[in-house]
Each structure stands twice: as C-alpha cells, then as structure tokens.
Amino acid sequence: MASHYEAPIRKPLVIGDKNYHDVSVDIAAPIEGRANRQWWIVFSIALAALLWGIGAIIYTISTGIGTWGLNKTVNWAWDITNFVWWVGIGHAGTLISAVLLLFRQKWRMAINRSAEAMTIFSVIQAGLFPIIHMGRPWLAYWVVPIPNQFGSLWVNFNSPLLWDVFAISTYLSVSLVFWWTGLLPDFAMIRDRAVKPFQKKIYGLVSFGWTGRAKDWQRFEEVSLVLAGLATPLVLSVHTIVSFDFATSVIPGWHTTIFPPYFVAGAIFSGFAMVQTLLIIMRKVCSLEAYITVQHIELMNIVIMVTGSIVGCAYITELFIAWYSGVEYEQYAFLNRATGPYWWAYLLMMSCNVVSPQVMWFKKIRTSIVISFVISIVVNIGMWFERFVIIVTSLHRDYLPSSWTMFSPTFVDIGIFIGTIGFFFVLFLLYARTFPVIAQAEVKSILKSSGSKYKKLRDAGQPLYQMPTEIAPAREVEVAEVTKPEETAKVGDLLSKLGTFDPDTDKADDLKKVKGIGPKMEQTLNQIGIYTFAQVSRMTDTEYRMLDEITGAFPGRAQRDDWAGQAMKLNKKS
C-alpha cells in the first residue's frame, strides 16, 4: 500500500484495535453522555472564581484603577503581566494546528482541537485586560479608526498599543474561523449520530450543513493549509507586537531587540505547558488514552524542552549584552533583578524556566505522566513570573532614583486574575462536554498509517483492508419521508391512552363534525390512528399536548375548541 507507507520505526499514534467507527464512538461519547459529579464540582468552582472576578472588574471600573496596587512609577503590573501571560498561552494552539500542519506532524491530530480551543479561550481572557486596565474603558471604542464628529479625529498608528488591538483582534478572529472550519466535519458526525431532536438541531446548525463531498474535502484541505500558512506568521507577529509594547520603549530592561523572538519562544514554551496540563487531565476523564498517548506527551515535552532552552539562551544573551553594553542603567536593571527586592521573583523565574525543562533530557522523566504534569504547571508559574519580572523590575527602578518605588498587588488585582482563570475553565469545561475534543476526521485520515491495528497488519505483510465477501444486493430505494423513530414512539404513547382503532370491529366516525377539525386535520388524525369520537373524547390536556407535538400544527387549538367535550356529545348522539 503505497498510499499508507509508514516507516516501521514509527510508533503507533492510535493504540488499541480502533477502526473508523470506534473513533466516532469514542469521540462522541463525552458529548452524548451526561456530566458526572466531578464535572459539576469543578465547574462550580470555576464559575465561582469567574463571578468573583466579575465582581472585582465591576469594582475596578466603577471605583477606579486606584483600587489596584499600581502607583505613579509602576503603572503596569498585574494587568499587563496577565495579559501577556494569557496571550502567550494562546500561542501553542495555533502552533500545534498551524506549524505542525505545515511540517506534516501526524501526532498533532489528536491534540490540535483542544489546543485551538485553549487558544480561543485564553485569548478571550487576554482580551479583557487591555479593556479593564483602561482608566476610561467606556471610551475604548476610540482606539478604532472610525470616522467621527470630531472633524474625524483619528488614532495614532505609531503606538504598539494600537498594533496590539489589530494583532489581538486579527489573531482571535482568524483562530476562531480556523477552529470552526476544522470543526464542521466533526459537528456533522455528531449531528448524524444524534438521537435527541434538540441535539440534532443544534449540531445541524453549527455544522453548517457539512455534507462531505469530494469537492468539499478538496477545498477544506486547501483552506486548512492556507490558513495554517497564514496563521504561522500571524502567531509569530502577534507575540512580536505584544513584545513591542516593551521593546520599543526607552526603559532599561525593556529596550531590547531580542524581545520579539524571545517572547515568541516563551509563548510556545508556556502554551505547550498549558496544553500538557489540560490534555493529561482530559485523556483521563474523557477516556481518550488511546488517542492522546504517552508518545504525544513525550513529544510535547520535547517541544517544551527545546523552547525552554531557547528561553534560557535568551536570558543569558540579555545578561551578556547588559554587561557588554557598558550602559550602567542597563547593567543596573539586571543587577536589580538578581539582587534587588524582587530577587525571589527572578530566582523563581530562572529556576522554573531554565532548570525545570532540562530534566526532559531524560527519557524516563519525559515519558512519565505525573512528572510531565508537575513540570507543565511549574513552567506556567515560571512564565508568569517572567512577565512580572520584566514588567515590574524594569519599572520600579529606572533612570531617576527619586522615582524608585515598590509594587504590591491588592486583592482586586489578584481577584481579576483569579476571575480570568475561572472564566477560562468555565469555557474549557463547557467545551469539553459539547465539542468533539479530538478532530475525528483527521484522526481517521491517519488511522491507516499510524493506527496500531493497521501497523500490525502491515508488519505481518497483510493487506490493510478486506474485500467484502458477500456481494451486495442491488436494491430500489424510494426517497420518501422516513418517520423518525421518536415520532412513532410518541404515536404509540398517544394511542395507548386513547385506545386503538380496529378496522374489523370499529366503525370510523366523521371527525369533521367536531368544530375545529377540518378535512386536513381529519386526515392527520387518521394517519396517527384516531378514527372515532370515542378516541377523541378520551383526550385530556396531556394528550392534547402530545398531539400538538406530533402534528406540529395549530398548537393549543384542540384545547381551545374542546374537542374531547364535543366528541363526547357526538359519540352519545351516534
């Protein structure tokens, strides 16, 4: 099988003897099942954190930014730290879905959906901070260059903060359509499996009528590839522009040309760590161990190790350049980081970001799920401190010693951060219950090359498929309205209460005599199996409602016209 050639050295990416249908069933299971108690507990905690955060945000906006721990010298601290941290986390999603697609990495298939969801949800969190850290957030729309009554007063396109607006909104919207387009075939799979009418409707709506024609797939793949090609420079540019907030300033410790690539590397580093944290839990609770294997975890660990090393190199480069520059402000900025009042934050950042990923050189460690989970959390703590150190230690001591000060956050600063974490998990938990968390169409397309079942067949020198032994009989099929099973069940329910009509013994009545039943309605009733006044007279409110559900025509009419009462009289007469 030339089309599915795979080097024997490669380990299977889908373990267990999965075939195409098994993939559908496994991925649809969390959506079709019900949420368990743990889910509700975690969801409630996340919701409580979110509500607390909303309270803190309302308090800030209605009272003023003075409720935060900022001062005249340190005028950016937790707000922008959290902003950059969340944006950074968001980057891994696009990286996994775009860069790994360009490099044809098959292992991305099982993790890209969740990684992209993580991107969307964390960029939403990031997007909150530029608004709420404004002194007058109700004028936020002034950042958009819209013609206006002030003689058309425009924005200044020289500011990196405006670039941020363009970068973040482009990033969020492009990631969203990339994600959604990839979801269409998966939503279609859920739609076609759904048994509950409401579920069918919703997934029919969100799958945009995906039909899976050969031409659709051809375009779909091209669109995915072009979007990946666009998203890759986008993801690099977005964090670059975020880093410009600092790099284009004149502050010692901020004004560095290394920031753009170094921030991007840090973003990948922290983003992959977050993916690792989430997926290690998800594979367990959603029983997706067959798709998110230890190999996936190991490969993510390798990415974390590589980007962690890049970040480490950047730290050393910064230190070297500070020493080499001969600029005493620059030199002091780094001396202050290492030995000043925030030495503990610097030490935490150094140990979490530079030392912890280096343990991944040992195979035993990087294939251990528990250690991977711990390190992934350590990395995110370290990356939070990286942003904090860069922002705060450069601001609190710079050119004028008379402006030197300290910073400490208030409960509002902390509350908003906790709120965004809560919001993130609220979104992610809802996502995990309603979205296909693995791109099933993509996993199916690699199943033959990387599934363990097919690998075994290939190793045994057997063909990857079996021609059906039975010859399919040719059948004539009328394309007719197929009655849905749930409808027949309802009809059965209704008739069991009203009594069935037996054409041999009973005589059909002229139902049109009942006021409100026309020829059309009589036909409908006959189709259901209602022929006699006696049957109609047994109808009560419940039966009326059932009838309305089945016919869907003139809801409430039978009740208003009192069909049962009328039928009772007519029944006595005849």
Partner 1 sequence: MASKVIHAYYNDDDILMQAVKKVKTTKHHIEEVYCPFPVHGLDKAMGLAPTRIAITSFMYGCLGLIVAIVMMNYIMIEDWPQDIGGKPSFTYIQNMPAFVPIMFELTVFFAAHLMVITFYLRSRLWPFKKAENPDVRTTDDHFVMEIEVYSGDEKGLMTMLQESGAVEINQVEK
Residue from the set 34, 37, 72, 215 that interacts with partner 1 by CB under 8 A: 215
Nearer to partner 1, 191 or 397 (CB): 191
Asked if residues 406 and 341 have their Cβ atoms less than 8 Å apart, the reply is yes
- Smallest distance, Å, CB 100 to partner 1? 17
- Smallest distance, Å, CB 66 to partner 1? 27
Residue from the set 468, 503, 519, 552 that interacts with partner 1 by CB under 8 A: 468
* CA separation for the pair 561, 551 (Å, rounded): 16
In the shown chain, the binding pattern of residues 242 to 261 toward partner 1, with x for contact by CB under 8 A and - for none, equals --x-----------------
Specify the DSSP class assigned to residue 108: G
Residue from the set 137, 145, 261, 499 that interacts with partner 1 by CB under 8 A: 145
Nearer to partner 1, 103 or 157 (CB): 157
Q: Is the dihedral of CA 431, 437, 440, 443 positive or negative?
A: positive
Residue from the set 105, 218, 523, 527 that interacts with partner 1 by CB under 8 A: 218
Return the residues of window 393-452 that contact partner 1 according to CB under 8 A.
440-442, 444-445, 448
Return the residues of window 8-67 that contact partner 1 according to CB under 8 A.
19-21, 24
* CA separation for the pair 185, 171 (Å, rounded): 23
Counting Cβ atoms within 10 Å, is residue 391 exposed (0-12), middle (13-18) or buried (19+)? Answer: buried
* CA separation for the pair 454, 462 (Å, rounded): 9
Residue from the set 40, 41, 58, 222 that interacts with partner 1 by CB under 8 A: 222
Residue from the set 64, 66, 212, 492 that interacts with partner 1 by CB under 8 A: 212
Binding of partner 1 at residue 227 (CB under 8 A)?
Answer: yes
Segment lying near partner 1 (by CB under 8 A), choices 50-58, 72-80, 214-222, 273-281: 214-222
Asked if residues 438 and 13 have their Cβ atoms less than 8 Å apart, the reply is no
- Smallest distance, Å, CB 422 to partner 1? 30
Residue from the set 179, 210, 269, 533 that interacts with partner 1 by CB under 8 A: 210
Q: What is the distance between the terminal CA atoms of the chain, rounded to a whole angstrom?
A: 77
Residue from the set 9, 139, 370, 479 that interacts with partner 1 by CB under 8 A: 479
97-101: list long-range contacts, CB under 8 Å, 24+ apart.
Answer: 97/178, 97/179, 97/182, 97/228, 97/231, 98/178, 98/227, 98/228, 98/229, 98/231, 98/232, 98/235, 99/228, 99/232, 99/235, 101/224, 101/225, 101/228
* CA separation for the pair 338, 354 (Å, rounded): 15
- Smallest distance, Å, CB 127 to partner 1? 15
Binding of partner 1 at residue 1 (CB under 8 A)?
Answer: yes
Residue from the set 74, 111, 117, 167 that interacts with partner 1 by CB under 8 A: 167
Binding of partner 1 at residue 220 (CB under 8 A)?
Answer: yes
Binding of partner 1 at residue 108 (CB under 8 A)?
Answer: no
Residue from the set 459, 478, 502, 504 that interacts with partner 1 by CB under 8 A: 478
List residues bridging with 14 in a β-sheet. 451
Binding of partner 1 at residue 467 (CB under 8 A)?
Answer: yes
- Smallest distance, Å, CB 556 to partner 1? 26
Nearer to partner 1, 153 or 374 (CB): 153
* CA separation for the pair 457, 444 (Å, rounded): 17
Quick one: which of 191, 193, 134, 136 has its CA closest to 165?
134
Nearer to partner 1, 29 or 177 (CB): 177
Return the residues of window 169-198 that contact partner 1 according to CB under 8 A.
170, 173-174, 177-178, 181, 184-185, 188-189, 191-193
* CA separation for the pair 406, 411 (Å, rounded): 17
Quick one: which of 441, 446, 435 has its CA closest to 28?
435
- Smallest distance, Å, CB 479 to partner 1? 6
For residue 265 the two structure tokens come to 């590397």
Nearer to partner 1, 241 or 395 (CB): 241
Residue from the set 213, 484, 497, 569 that interacts with partner 1 by CB under 8 A: 213
How big is the site for partner 1, counted in residues (CB under 8 A)?
84
* CA separation for the pair 61, 58 (Å, rounded): 5
Return the residues of window 279-338 that contact partner 1 according to CB under 8 A.
none
Binding of partner 1 at residue 87 (CB under 8 A)?
Answer: no
Binding of partner 1 at residue 231 (CB under 8 A)?
Answer: yes
- Smallest distance, Å, CB 126 to partner 1? 16
Binding of partner 1 at residue 361 (CB under 8 A)?
Answer: no
* CA separation for the pair 290, 23 (Å, rounded): 10
Nearer to partner 1, 370 or 479 (CB): 479
Q: Is the dihedral of CA 46, 48, 53, 54 positive or negative?
A: positive
Nearer to partner 1, 144 or 285 (CB): 144
Nearer to partner 1, 168 or 392 (CB): 168
Segment lying near partner 1 (by CB under 8 A), choices 32-40, 373-381, 414-422, 459-467: 459-467
Q: How many CB atoms lie within 10 A of CB 138?
A: 9
Asked if residues 142 and 155 have their Cβ atoms less than 8 Å apart, the reply is yes
Residue from the set 50, 115, 241, 282 that interacts with partner 1 by CB under 8 A: 241
Counting Cβ atoms within 10 Å, is residue 382 exposed (0-12), middle (13-18) or buried (19+)? Answer: buried
- 3-class SS of residue 390: helix
Residue from the set 204, 261, 499, 516 that interacts with partner 1 by CB under 8 A: 204
Counting Cβ atoms within 10 Å, is residue 367 exposed (0-12), middle (13-18) or buried (19+)? Answer: middle
CB-side neighbour CA atoms (13 Å) of 199: 17
- For 160, residues 6+ apart whose C-beta sits below 8 A from its C-beta are 241, 244, 245, 248
* CA separation for the pair 560, 452 (Å, rounded): 64
- 3-class SS of residue 196: coil
